[in-house]
Amino acid sequence: MYIYWILLGLAIATEITGTLSMKWASVSEGNGGFILMLVMISLSYIFLSFAVKKIALGVAYALWEGIGILFITLFSVLLFDERVMLPISRTC
């Protein structure tokens, strides 16, 4: 059973790498970022598809997306100097 959680962890890690490589590809020259993105996103879906054989789909997808978004945001701020704008709303 632990192997499926490891596969989910690999799916999350490759999703983060693939998504961050999109930004890297847009600010650098050459096709390296796009190739890395294609490989990592493909691996992410492959790992996720194996993980959901024993982990409930809802749980796996929620963790995959939630942890992915958290780390993508964190690394975008640290690596690409992006700003995080928190929406503030007023209600009457």
Tens-place pLDDT, residues 60-83: 999 999 999 999 999 999 999 888
Q: What is the mean pLDDT of residues 12-35?
A: 92
Q: Please, where are the H alpha helices in the chain? A: 2-27, 32-51, 57-80
* Total-model pTM: 0.87
Chain centre distance of CA 87:
23
Q: Answer yes or no: is 86 within a domain.
A: no
Inside any domain, residue 59? yes
The contacts of residue 44 (CB under 8 Å, 6+ apart) are 11, 12, 14, 15, 18
Could you list the residue range(s) of the whole structural domain that residue 35 is in?
Answer: 2-80
Band (pLDDT 50/70/90 cuts) for residue 92 is low
pLDDT tens digits along 45-54: 999 999 999 9
How many structural domains are present in the chain?
Answer: 1
Mean residue pLDDT of the chain comes to: 93
Distance CA 39, CA 47 (A): 12
